[in-house]
Amino acid sequence: MTEPYILLAERLFEQLRARSHDGVGITRDTYGPGEQAGHAIMEECARHLGLEVRKDAALNLYLTLPGRQRDLPAVVTGSHLDSVPRGGNFDGAAGVVAGIAVLAGWVRAGMTPERDVVVMGIRAEESAWFPVSYVGSKAAFGLLDAAALQSPRADTRRSLSDHMRDCGGQPELVAAGVPTLRAAAVDCFIELHIEQGPVLIDGGQALGVVSGICGSHRYRDARVRGRYAHSGATPRGHRADAVVALAALIDRLQDAWAELEADGHELTLTFGQVYTDPKQADFSKVPGLVSFTVDIRSRDTDTLRLMDERLHETANAIADAQGVSFDWGPVSGSQPALMDAALRQALHDAAAAAQASVRDMPSGAGHDSATFANQGVPTAMLFVRNANGSHNPDEAMAMTDFAAGTRTLGRVLAERAGLRGPD
Ligand SMILES: [Zn+2]
């Protein structure tokens, strides 16, 4: 990628920042003014470059450089354009900007691909707004549950359906499951995304090739019940202390996690919310109830199952020993997604050719790529080094790393799409 396309990318990032800065961070609210602005900026740029512009019923954006053989399965790249409230400028948007920068380079050089190459601006990836994962990519494949359209947005309490319609979408077509993308018509999907953890910064690599996207197994509303009692009048042997029981569970599961890791499993285990009932708990009472959440993530379905088994075995043993009971509530989660081996290798080769340092790594966070992979589309993800984590205003990606990532992405897209020079 030559210099002008980095300038184009910088200009797009600047426009995005200007139109979605909320005074503290970046807010591109899902099916609201922030996300709309992001889509408008990308659409305008694509029109300027002469790309075809299409939108589906859910308002995903498809920016296409037509190929010589338009009936061949298309090469697709892109990412999402929404953000969490007070998030950063690069989460999601980097993948769309990179795709546009690649196509801009080809257009200016008069190159034409054999197949269509499509940059997608995907809607509604962040579940901070609606409690549904991957709204846009699921809708593109006709997979979004009709019931999900009735979910309220966290801030406005208005439904996904209403928000989508306000922005110009057609929720009734989304509910009917009319697909815009069919797996057979997609040659591959490659998503560039900033890394949202510290692995690349710590390892000193500019780029990461994602080996797989973690699935999850979650209890969002679990409880342990003991018995409320007077803190001074109840001897140790007569207590059923819900806090003590949950503390034991959390502590023993740290050991179980370490043991699974020692056996070669990769996973995370998080008790993100732990709270007594503020109406009943008191400093002078033995706590009788603790509510908590469990979030287990892994790339491997067996690992998710093993950790879940350890969770229940350990909880049952604690319940027997301490006279408490566990109530798990509903289970939710998502399937892990494997990345395509040939595309992973192609990304490694392309990074080497771009003289960028690169490593393999799993993705602990979920991404739209999981939807594509689980539909059987050969899928890959390329992470770009980013400091200070993500989902906060301090995301920091160096443009030199972004350029290395965009060159790497461009090389693989070109190979895959059969890019050729002017005749
Ligand atoms: Zn993201």
Of the pLDDT bands very low, low, confident and very high (cuts 50, 70, 90), residue 423 is low
> H-helix or E-strand containing 262?
helix 242-262
> What's residue 367's pLDDT?
93
pLDDT of 1 > 50? The answer is no
Q: Provide DSSP, 150-197.
A: GPBPTTT--BHHHHHHHTT--HHHHHTT--S--GGGEEEEEEEEE--S
Q: What are the tens digits of pLDDT across the range 242-274?
A: 999 999 999 999 999 999 999 999 999 999 999
Query: What separation in Å is there between the alpha carbon of 393 and the centre of ligand 1?
Result: 14
Query: What separation in Å is there between the alpha carbon of 82 and the centre of ligand 1?
Result: 8
> What's residue 330's pLDDT?
87
Query: What separation in Å is there between the alpha carbon of 371 and the centre of ligand 1?
Result: 14
Query: What separation in Å is there between the alpha carbon of 217 and the centre of ligand 1?
Result: 20
Given the structure tokens 């771009």, which residue do they identify?
354
Neighbouring residues of 258: CB distance < 8 A, sequence distance ≥ 6? none
Amino acid 88 reads: G
Residue 187 CA to residue 418 CA, distance in Å, equals 12
Contact 248, 318 (CB under 8 A): yes
Which pTM value belongs to this model? 0.86
pLDDT of 126 > 70? The answer is yes
Average pLDDT over residues 303-314: 98
Check whether domain 215-334 has CATH 3.30.1300.10, yes or no: no
Q: Which is it for strands 268-270 and 285-286: parallel, antiparallel or unpaired?
A: unpaired
Neighbouring residues of 71: CB distance < 8 A, sequence distance ≥ 6? none
- Token pair for residue 325? 């009971």
- How distant is the alpha carbon of residue 89 from its chain centre? 15
> What's residue 364's pLDDT?
87
Contact 226, 242 (CB under 8 A): yes
Every domain of the chain and the residues it spans: 3-214+336-417, 215-334
Residue 138 CA to residue 144 CA, distance in Å, equals 5
> What's residue 127's pLDDT?
85
43: Cα within 13 Å, side-chain hemisphere? 14
| Average pLDDT, rounded, for the chain | 95
> What's residue 132's pLDDT?
86
Query: What separation in Å is there between the alpha carbon of 125 and the centre of ligand 1?
Result: 7
Query: What separation in Å is there between the alpha carbon of 193 and the centre of ligand 1?
Result: 7
287: Cα within 13 Å, side-chain hemisphere? 20
pLDDT of 3 > 70? The answer is no
Query: What separation in Å is there between the alpha carbon of 213 and the centre of ligand 1?
Result: 13
Q: What are the tens digits of pLDDT across the range 311-355?
A: 999 999 999 999 999 999 988 888 899 999 999 999 999 999 999
Contact 333, 399 (CB under 8 A): no
Contact 369, 379 (CB under 8 A): yes
Query: What separation in Å is there between the alpha carbon of 124 and the centre of ligand 1?
Result: 10
Q: What are the tens digits of pLDDT across the range 373-400?
A: 999 999 999 999 999 989 999 999 999 9
- Token pair for residue 130? 């609606």
> H-helix or E-strand containing 212?
strand 207-213
Q: How many residues does the chain have?
A: 423
Query: What separation in Å is there between the alpha carbon of 367 and the centre of ligand 1?
Result: 6
Residue 129 CA to residue 92 CA, distance in Å, equals 15
pLDDT of 303 > 70? The answer is yes
Neighbouring residues of 185: CB distance < 8 A, sequence distance ≥ 6? 73, 74
Query: What separation in Å is there between the alpha carbon of 353 and the centre of ligand 1?
Result: 27
Q: What are the tens digits of pLDDT across the range 27-61?
A: 999 999 999 999 999 999 999 999 999 999 999 99
**Nearest alpha-carbon partner for 381 in 422, 322, 318, 339:** 339
pLDDT of 151 > 50? The answer is yes
Residue 224, CA distances (Å) to 221, 247, 270 in order = 10, 11, 17
Residue 344 CA to residue 351 CA, distance in Å, equals 11
Identify the DSSP state of 280.
Answer: T
Q: What are the tens digits of pLDDT across the range 59-110?
A: 999 999 999 999 999 999 999 999 999 999 999 999 999 999 999 999 999 9
CATH architecture of the domain 3-214+336-417 equals 3-Layer(aba) Sandwich (3.40)
Q: What are the tens digits of pLDDT across the range 157-180?
A: 999 999 999 999 999 999 999 999
> What's residue 4's pLDDT?
63
Query: What separation in Å is there between the alpha carbon of 396 and the centre of ligand 1?
Result: 14
> What's residue 2's pLDDT?
52
**Nearest alpha-carbon partner for 127 in 37, 217, 30, 195:** 30
Contact 188, 379 (CB under 8 A): yes
Residue 11 CA to residue 4 CA, distance in Å, equals 10
**Nearest alpha-carbon partner for 98 in 413, 421, 415, 356:** 413
Query: What separation in Å is there between the alpha carbon of 321 and the centre of ligand 1?
Result: 44
Query: What separation in Å is there between the alpha carbon of 46 and the centre of ligand 1?
Result: 21
Contact 199, 217 (CB under 8 A): no
